[in-house]
Amino acid sequence: MRFTFVHCHGSGNDFPLIDARGIDLSDPEWARVARALADRSGDVGGDGLLLLTAQDGSHIFGMRMFNPDGSEAETCLNGLRCTARLGFEVTGAEAGRVRLKVSDAEARRVAPIADGVTTIETKVGPVSLAPGDVGLTIGDAPFVEAAIPGLPSERKFTAVAMPNPHLVAFVDAVDDGELVALGDWCEAGPALIPTRANVSFVELREKGHAPALFVRTYERGVGLTNSCGSAMAASTLAAARTGRIGWGVETRVFNRGGMVRATAAIGDVVTIAGNATFTWDGEIEVDPATGAVGPVRIMGRRDEEVAAWEGMLAGL
């Protein structure tokens, strides 16, 4: 089956994105397509596969996201910005409600965060801090900067469902080795959190009227990643919940992939504004029944967008 796609990224979190509104495949078939296209050793590669899906009721369109291992994520906020951009382009809309796997979000075009950088704002929430919603099998009250019994770490975590599960700890300096060890433990699906979790270590780099966070994430189904949009949102909420930033205060959130603007509002609603950069367009043959993949054909490159993003990074 021939698929056309756009390769894109949100804050360095990169994906092949398919307009799937007219494509009828089963979930196992899409999982095989995702494993084929998001494979870093292949011709495309990415942190997952994004699908633009059809309008439904109050939703202007929908998004699905499959991880490189074929599992489907509840949400992906970096991917949502890219999917919303494509959705706006094909529908002619500028804003709307987007259907996700088990929830929805508001998305709209906003002023660029830098010259030439297409920017989409998304709003999600209210999100949940109930341990069961995060996937934890222990506790009735929310874990907000608290030790989680049974977790192989003495650090204090805030557990948030975005609705995908996040464990967020604030640290003086990120230790990748420690983060990977804990992420690997969660990825094994232990009894404490059998559906696994995204784990983030966060540094508070600036305080006051212009706060800044640096987020490093072990992403469920992916591993250590340069960027995870829902982790940046969860970290912003955790920072507000623990008094590190103010409610309603715009915060710059950095990761190795770039930067977004984020705000946590009372009521546990998080708004993220960041890039939705299209880097190149391609087509490829994938057999959904087997996952067999053919060579990729590059249809065009978006060099001006790439240069604009790289110029923004250089100025950070």
Residues with a known catalytic role: 76, 228
Tell me the C-alpha distance between 70 and 65, whole Å: 9
Tokens 């508070």, residue located: 204
For 129-159, the DSSP string reads --HHHHT-SS-SS--SSB--TTSS--S-BEE
Tell me the C-alpha distance between 87 and 94, whole Å: 9
How many alpha carbons fall within 13 Å on the CB side of residue 156? 10
For 256-290, the DSSP string reads TTEEEEEEEETTTEEEEEEE-EEEEEEEEEB-TTT
For the chain, the helix, strand and coil percentages under 3-state DSSP, each to the nearest 5? 20, 35, 40
- State the alpha helices, DSSP H only, in 165-280: 176-187, 229-241
Structure tokens at 258: 């770039």
Amino acid identity for residue 259 in this structure = M
Contact assessment for residue 207 and residue 216, using Cβ atoms and an 8 Å cutoff: no
Helix (H) / strand (E) containing 312: helix 303-315
Contact assessment for residue 288 and residue 132, using Cβ atoms and an 8 Å cutoff: no
